[in-house]
Amino acid sequence: MNKALVAIRVGDRRWDLNLKGNISIKLPEKEFEEALKYVDALNKANKLFNQNYKALDLRDKHKYYIEKY
């Protein structure tokens, strides 16, 4: 995944990624590797950057939240 513009450390615990296309990805504090795999799968399936998404919140591993423009 080569679309990251900025990585922001939040509360010295977790990361937010701001991607090309103005999408913000909120990563969980733990098991962020799994969340990144999910983002990569969405990207490969062409379902992330071709949508009208503003933010993808992956902090809860049981539920993911999408904010649209």
Instruction: Assign residue 38 the CATH number of its domain.
Output: 3.40.50.11690
Question: What DSSP string describes 8-68?
Answer: EEETTTEEEEEETTTEEEE--SS-HHHHHHHHHHHHHTT-STTS-EEEEEEEETTEEEEEE
Report pLDDT for 5.
85
Supply the range of the domain harboring residue 40. 4-68
pLDDT above 90 for 53: no
Q: Per the structure, how many domains does the chain have?
A: 1
- CA 64 – CA 59 distance, rounded (Å): 7
Contact 67, 35 (CB under 8 A): no
Instruction: Kindly state the average pLDDT of the residues 49-63.
Output: 89
Residue type, 6: V
